[in-house]
Amino acid sequence: MSAGTGGGLLVAGTTSDAGKSVVTAGICRWLVRQGVKVAPFKAQNMSLNSFVTREGAEIGRAQAMQAQAARVEPTALMNPVLLKPGSDRSSQVVLMGKPVGEMSARGYHGGRQEQLLGTVLECLAELRGTYDAVICEGAGSPAEINLRRTDIVNMGIARNARLPVLVVGDIDRGGVFASFFGTVALLSPEDQAFVAGFLVNKFRGDVSLLEPGLDMLKNLTGRHTYGVLPFQHGLGIDEEDGLRVSLRGSVRESEVSSPVGEDILRVAVCAIPLMSNFTDVDALAAEPGVVVRFVDRAEELVDADLVVVPGTRGTVRALEWLRERGLADALARRAAEGRPVLGVCGGFQILGEHIEDEVESRAGQVDGLGLLPVRVRFAREKTLTRPVGEALGEPVEGYEIHHGVARVTGGTPFLDGCRVGEVWGTHWHGSLESDGFRRAFLREVAAAAGRRFVPAADTSFGSLREEQLDRLGDLIEEHADTDALWRLIESGAPTGLPFIPPGAPA
C-alpha cells in the first residue's frame, strides 16, 4: 500500500451506537499496521466520557482510544468540539479542549454550531496536511434532516472537506437494509454524491445468506458494501453514546475469568445521574475473578466487596439521587462497618462533608455524605491535568477533569485526595489502569472484605487494550474489502453515483 498524502474518510452510521467509534478505530489500526501515518478525527462529540491530552486539552475518550489505535498522541485537533450534557436540554461546550460555557440545544443548533464550522475545517485541514490519512467519525445519523442546516459533523463536513462517506449499520438490531437505503434516500443529491457505500457491523451467521440482500442493495442504490464484520464480544471500548450495560448486568460485554485465589471479588458501581468516565472501572473488570456491575438500588450494595461512586457532570444532582434511593444511607452503613468504598472525581466530592456550588448546579451550600474530611468549592475554571504520583507503594498515573476544588482537612493522603478507614477518595481518573497500584488496591479491598481473592500477577491493562485494538484491526483486515477501502480513502467517492429519491425535503 502506498501512503497517499491527505487521504480521508468519514465513517457515518445509520444510528447512534451503530459501531462508528470501533470501526474508525479498527480502520486506524489496520492502516498503521500497513505503514500508513493515520490520525482519527471527530468534529463534534457529545459524551460524558472524556480524556485529558498531554497539553491539557479535554477531548472525547473515544478519540483518545482511536489515537491509540493509530499509535499517535491524542490532541485537541482530533476532537475540536466536545459537548458534555448537564441536563436533557443543555450542555457544556468544550472548544479546542477548553470549556467556553453552557448552552441549550436550541441555542447551539440555532447558530453557534454553524460558527464553529471554520474551526472544525481548519483542524481537519491541519491533520490532513500532517498525516497520510485522516479517518473521521460522524455522529448519530447523517439523515437527521432536522439538523442538516447546521451540521458540522456528518455531511456538512464531508461536503466541505470532500470526504467519501462509509455508512455503518448494526445488523444485530435488525432492519439494516431499510436503514442503509433510507439513510441515502433522505439526503440531498449533493450529499448523496459523497456516500460511497456501506459496512455491515455485528453479523451473526453464514455470510452467504446475507449476500442476496447485499446484491439487491447495490442494485437499488448503486453503492458497494465494503465489508461484513462479524459479531464479537468484548469490543465495546470507550464508547461515548451509551453505557452498554443493563443496570443489573455486568459491565460491557466482558467475560469474567476464573479467579487466581479462592474467591471472586464483587464490585458495585452506583449508576448515578450524568455519570462520567465510567470507563474508570474497565481496569477492574479486566482482572480475573473481579465481577463489576452497575447498580441503582440500596439492596444491591449488600453483597458487594467494593462500592464505587464514579464521576458525574452533576455532583449535587447525583447526591440527591443517592439520598432519594437509599443508597446514601447504605454507603454510610458500609463506612461504619469498615467495608470498602471508592469515590472518583464527582464521587469523591459526594463523599465529602460539604459542597459549595455556584457553577455546576448553582445550588449553593450543600451537605455531602460526610464520609471523608473534605470540603469542595466549585471554581469556574476547570482543572485539566495529567498527574503522576505514588500510592500503596506503587507508581500511579491519571488525569483530572473537574470544576470542584477539594480542601482535604484530615485522613491519610491518597492520590491528592484522602482515605479514612476503608473509604477512599480521589479526583484522579484512570488510576486503576496502573497495574501495580490496581493490584495493591485490590489486595487491600479483599483483606477488608474478608475475601480470599488474589490479584493476577501478570494482568496488564495496557496490553489487554492493545489486544482489543488489534482485534478491531483484524476485523477490518479480514472482513472488509481493504483494497476498495484504500481506494476510497486515497481517491474519494466514486463518480457517477446515482441519486436515490426522494432526497432531502426542501
Average pLDDT score over residue span 317-340 = 96
The per-residue pLDDT for 480 is 97
Residue 254, pLDDT > 70, answer no
Confidence of residue 359 (pLDDT cuts 50, 70, 90): confident
Helices (H), 232-379: 282-285, 315-324, 327-337, 346-351
Of the candidates 489, 473, 484, which has an alpha carbon nearest to the alpha carbon of residue 33? 473
Task: List the single range of 129-133, 253-257, 367-371, 488-492 with lowest mean pLDDT.
Answer: 253-257
DSSP letter (8 states) at residue 271: -
Which pLDDT does position 243 carry in this prediction?
Answer: 44
What pLDDT is attached to residue 109? 63
21 CB burial (10 A radius; 0-12, 13-18, 19+) = buried
The per-residue pLDDT for 244 is 43
Percent of the chain with pLDDT over 70: 93
Strands (E), 213-348: 224-230, 265-270, 275-276, 290-295, 306-309, 311-312, 341-344
**Phi/psi at 325 (5° precision):** -95, 5
User: CA 485 to CA 157: how far, in whole Å?
Assistant: 20
Which three cell numbers mark 55?
497539553
Whether the CB-CB separation of 167 and 181 falls below 8 Å is answered with no
Going by their DSSP bridges, the two strands 81-85 and 44-46 should be labelled as: parallel
- Residue 110's pLDDT is what? 62
Q: Is the dihedral of CA 414, 420, 421, 422 positive or negative?
A: negative
Sheet of strand 98-104: strand arrangement: 44-46, 81-85, 90-95, 98-104
Q: Is the pLDDT of residue 5 over 60?
A: no
d(CA 467, CA 235): 10
pTM of the model as a whole = 0.91
For residue range 31-79, list pLDDT tens digits in order: 999 999 999 999 999 988 999 999 999 999 999 999 999 999 999 999 9
Of 12-21, 32-41, 204-213, which one has max mean pLDDT? Answer: 32-41
Residue 204 has pLDDT above 90, yes or no: yes
Selected residue with higher pLDDT from 294 and 244: 294
Is the confidence at residue 111, as pLDDT, over 70?
no
Q: How many CB atoms lie within 10 A of CB 110?
A: 12
Read off the pLDDT of each residue in 483-489 and give the average, rounded to a whole number.
Answer: 97
What confidence tier does 240 reach under pLDDT thresholds 50, 70, 90? low
Residues annotated as catalytic (active site), given as ranges: 345, 429
- The whole-chain average pLDDT of the chain stands at 91
Going by pLDDT thresholds of 50, 70 and 90, the confidence category of residue 260 is confident
Q: 287 pLDDT exceeds 80?
A: yes
| Residue 241 pLDDT > 60 | no
Q: State pLDDT tens for residues 263-279.
A: 999 999 999 999 988 88
Q: Locate cell 455508512: which residue?
A: 167
Q: What is the mean pLDDT of residues 387-416?
A: 96
pLDDT number for residue 257: 73
C-alpha cell at 17: 451506537
